[in-house]
Amino acid sequence: MTNNTVYLNGHYLPLSDAKISVMDRGFLFGDGIYEVIPSYFGRFFHFEAHMERLDNSLAAIRLANPNSHKKWLKILSPLLIGTQDQYVYLQITRGTAPKRDHGFPENTVPTVFAMGSPIVPMAERDTGVKVLTMPDSRWKLCNTKAITLLANILHRQEAIDQNCAEALLVKDGYVTEGAASNVFAVIDGVLMTPPKSAEILPGITRDVILDLAREHGIPCKEESFSLTALQTASEIWITSSTREIIPVVECDEQKVGDGKPGPIWHKMNQLFQTYKQSLA
């Protein structure tokens, strides 16, 4: 296997040779889901939690899981190269249909694609990033990891156009999550993140952070908080499987805290890195 090897419908082949039909429903409709699974020291990180989220996403779009968790591990493991930090992107669509029709086609075989890529740490991870808040214009099934990501892409690009790393989304006055991340805020000394609902993606890294906080006595809770409350936060973080925990030092052109990564972030980042090492 090489970094250029991908998996497509039962075969490992060079990326340049991987082809799908233009009639694939993922191409025509965005009719599919995906999962991103990080790996550290040659081992997948919380593999079963990622598989459970995969199960939930597939169930949400009424598509049967084509493989057991054990079979997925066997399929995806060869895409890992050595012990470098990397991730596997897995995508499953409803497959190729004989015609373009919004209704589910009968007797189609899902299209399964997977590839591995290195995890490249953000250059600003230790210094912090800028973010921008904006109204959340996405659909109502944000807890489903669907490949229909146009709204997320537009939100992220709007932030990039204004020299920000991420868009923090706000619905009915309350913060939901980032365009491609979960969000944490330290408000009145308590680490907070919005509760799981159809309005946010249930991040695996998010769950690990909460577990570590509880284990190490960091006050925390899953609770909705308003944009107004966010503006009083002493620390803000964005989290994801490939970015891990990124401190936010500026939000809507206003400093967060003293404009530097805060003490709770430093402690949590150290706990997270130590936890990763322990799994090796």
β-sheet bridge partners, residue 169: 134
| Active site (catalytic) residues | 145
Contact by Cβ (8 Å): 25, 102: no
Cα torsion angle, 140, 141, 145, 148, sign: negative
CA distance 26 to 36: 17
Closest CA to 265 of 167, 186, 169: 186
β-sheet bridge partners, residue 174: 171, 226
Contact by Cβ (8 Å): 110, 92: yes
CA distance 138 to 201: 12
List of residues 6+ apart from 230 with CB closer than 8 A: 133, 168, 175, 185, 187, 236, 251
Buried b (16+ CB within 10 A) or exposed e, 96-124: bbeeeeeeebeebebbbbbbbeeeeeeee
Strand stretches in 121-234, DSSP E: 129-135, 166-171, 174-178, 182-187, 190-193, 220-222
* Per-residue tokens: 88: 């596997």
* Per-residue tokens: 103: 């209704």
